[in-house]
Amino acid sequence: MPEEPMDVYEAIRRRRDVRAEFTGDRIDDEVLMRLLAAAHRAPSVGMTQPWDFVVVQDRQRLDTFAAHVAQARRDFADSLPEDRRATFDPIKIDGVRESGTGVVVTYDPSRGGRHVLGRHTVDDTGVFSAVLAIQNLWLAAVAEGIGVGWVSFYSEEFLTELIGAPAPVRPIAWLCVGPVSRPAEIPDLERHGWRSRRPLAEAVHREHYGRRDGGAPA
């Protein structure tokens, strides 16, 4: 961990989705457990704590998943029109092998029983809760100098089988977690011209959706 504790705003500013900068070394188990403890402190609907974390470090299993991701990447590339494909081609979308550690975050909708306080109206709040655990882990990783990359190029069925998750447990993310050589300043997708960050002013609405900066709805 860096000597000076990192301000939370600084961690938010520095956080990046990491694909290319993993050193190839495996994360220290004590550090990994601190990250998982941070994830486990997330808020959750009805205090269900619907997440679990499957740590994958076996080389063969990493290779199997990496090959599956590579195929999903090819399928996506093939679905693109020519100009978008040319932009997409140089973009790396995972560091499954190089990170040395995959953390599969799962969501269990049955956790908390039939009467989940607060999920009776919005069912998605269950998945939202598990995603908050991911964000906790991601920010804690920044403070530890560890890189995290979220991979979603996979079939849910394939990953469910790979980790042996029993129904109704769903894998909701594969996180590549490992030491990094240097933190990237600019998001990869921005650097490659795929998409760029929206200005905050465009995302903030006053009173009504579409009313920005006190003006009339757009």
Ligand X SMILES: Cc1cc2nc3c(=O)[nH]c(=O)nc-3n(C[C@H](O)[C@H](O)[C@H](O)COP(=O)(O)O)c2cc1C
17 contacts ligand X (rule: CB under 6 A): yes
Q: Which stretch binds ligand X (CB under 6 A): 16-24, 52-60, 155-163, 203-211?
A: 16-24
Q: Which residue is nearest to ligand X (CB)?
A: 187
Does residue 16 belong to the site contacting ligand X (CB under 6 A)? yes
SS3 track for 67-93: HHHHHHHHHHHHCCCHHHHHHHCCCCC
Q: Which is nearer to ligand X, 28 or 194 (CB)?
A: 194
Burial call 82-102: b when 16+ CB within 10 Å, e when fewer: eeeeeebeebebbbbbbbbbb
User: Given the rule CB under 6 A, which of 32-40, 80-88, 151-159, 205-213 is the region that contacts ligand X?
Assistant: 151-159
158 binds ligand X (CB under 6 A): no
Distance of CA 157 to the CA centre of its chain: 18
The C-alpha angle 133, 17, 191, rounded to 5 degrees, equals 155
What is the footprint of ligand X within residues 45-104 (CB under 6 A)? 93-94
* Of residues 52 and 174, the one with the C-beta less far from ligand X: 174
Q: Which stretch binds ligand X (CB under 6 A): 23-31, 32-40, 46-54, 145-153?
A: 145-153
- Using DSSP, state whether 61 is helix, strand or coil: helix
Per CB under 6 A, the list member of 19, 34, 111, 170 interacting with ligand X is 19
Interaction of residue 39 with ligand X, rule CB under 6 A:
no
189 binds ligand X (CB under 6 A): yes
Q: Which residues pair with 14 in a beta bridge?
A: none
Q: Phi-psi region for residue 110, left (φ > 0), alpha (ψ -120 to 50) or beta?
A: alpha
User: Shortest distance, CB of residue 38 to ligand X, whole angstroms?
Assistant: 17
3-class DSSP state of 53: strand
Give the C-alpha separation, 24 to 98, whole Å: 5
Nearest to 65 by CA among 33, 96, 20, 19: 96
- Which of 53, 88, 128, 150 is close enough to bind ligand X by CB under 6 A? 150
User: Of 191 and 205, which has the nearer Cβ to ligand X?
Assistant: 191
Q: Please tell me whether residue 151 binds ligand X under the rule CB under 6 A.
A: yes
| Residue 109 lies near ligand X (rule: CB under 6 A) | no
Q: Which residues bind ligand X (CB under 6 A)?
A: 16-17, 19, 93-94, 150-153, 187, 189
